């Protein structure tokens, strides 16, 4: 009798864990994209498009930049053209004997994002450095 009770408890727990895993597999669909852009003294604006499909419930955008010289502005726009965030960073040392690295970061968590083309606008002014854009879209 005792073995039967242990067996029933074990089966119940095993079934509960399996059902939880199956539920989590269905409710945790995400697509992640990572992009790195190297700027070598450029002053040309660049638009990076994030295509948000129908059915996306959450969007996470992380933009990281490290510049060695120049001035950089980064802006995030929704599909309607509304600015949803921005930051600017600038290297302040002009000496050839000293090296300066400036890091900037922006993270946005957006619930129920507008479907369509989101734009990350890069506005560099003689920038030498790297920009990383990481995007996660969740169903």
Per-residue pLDDT tens digits for 74-116: 999 999 999 999 999 998 776 566 677 889 999 999 999 999 9
**102 touches 70 (CB < 8 A):** no
Min mean pLDDT across 20-24, 40-44, 117-121 is at: 20-24
Residues paired with residue 32 on neighbouring β-strands, in sequence order? 136
Q: Closest Cα to residue 99, out of 133, 69, 64, 129?
A: 69
**CA-based nearest residue to 108, from 119, 122, 116:** 119
Q: CA-CA distance, 81 to 116, in Å (whole number)?
A: 11
- What is the model's pLDDT at position 96? 61
SS3 at position 10: helix
- What b-and-e string marks burial along 8-38, b requiring 16 or more CB atoms within 10 Å of the CB? eeeeeeeeeeeeeeeeeeeeeeeeeeeeebe
pTM value is 0.75
Domain range annotation of the chain: 30-138
Instruction: Report which of residues 6 and 119 the model is more confident about.
Output: 119
Between 47 and 139, the higher pLDDT residue: 47
Burial class (CB in 10 A: 0-12, 13-18, 19+), 65: buried
- Where residue 85 falls (left for φ over 0; alpha for ψ -120 to 50; beta otherwise) is left
Is the pLDDT at 33 greater than 50? The verdict is yes
What fold does the segment set 30-138 form as a domain? Jelly Rolls (2.60.120)
pLDDT of amino acid 31: 85
Distance CA 116, CA 80 (A): 9
């Amino acid at each position: 009798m005792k073995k039967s009770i242990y067996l029933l408890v074990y089966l119940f727990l095993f079934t509960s864990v399996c059902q939880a895993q199956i539920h989590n597999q269905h409710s945790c669909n995400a697509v992640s994209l990572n992009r790195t852009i190297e700027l070598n003294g450029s002053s040309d604006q660049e638009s990076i498009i994030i295509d948000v499909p129908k059915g996306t419930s959450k969007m996470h955008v992380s933009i990281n930049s490290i510049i060695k010289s120049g001035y950089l502005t980064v802006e995030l726009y929704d599909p309607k053209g509304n600015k949803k965030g921005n930051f600017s960073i600038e290297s302040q040392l002009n000496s050839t004997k000293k090296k300066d690295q400036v890091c900037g970061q922006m993270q946005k968590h957006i619930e129920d994002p507008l479907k369509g083309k989101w734009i990350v606008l890069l506005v560099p002014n003689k920038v030498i450095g790297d920009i990383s854009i990481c995007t996660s879209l969740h169903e």
